[in-house]
Amino acid sequence: MPTPTCLACGRTQSEVPLITLSYQDRSFLICPQHLPVLIHNPQALVGKLPGAEGMAAAEHED
C-alpha cells in the first residue's frame, strides 16, 4: 500500500496533518497548507486532482 501523501506537495502524514477528501468515489489527501489552493485556485491542481480543471474557485463576496 503506498504511503498516503498530500496530492499537492507529496508530504506524508508523518510530516503534516492530512485531510481526506472524498471525490468521485475516490479518496484524496491534502495538507492544511494546500487546502486553500483547492478552495481558491483549484486549477493549480490540474493533473494532480482529477477534474480540477472543471472546478470553480470560491468567490469572495467582500
- Point out which residues bind Zn ion (CB under 5 A): 6, 8-9, 31, 34
Q: How far is the CB of 55 from Zn ion (least distance, A)?
A: 17
Choice between 28 and 34, CB closer to Zn ion: 34
Q: How far is the CB of 62 from Zn ion (least distance, A)?
A: 26
Residue with cell 492544511: 32
Choice between 27 and 62, CB closer to Zn ion: 27
Identify the CA nearest to 57 among candidates 44, 36, 42, 45.
Answer: 42
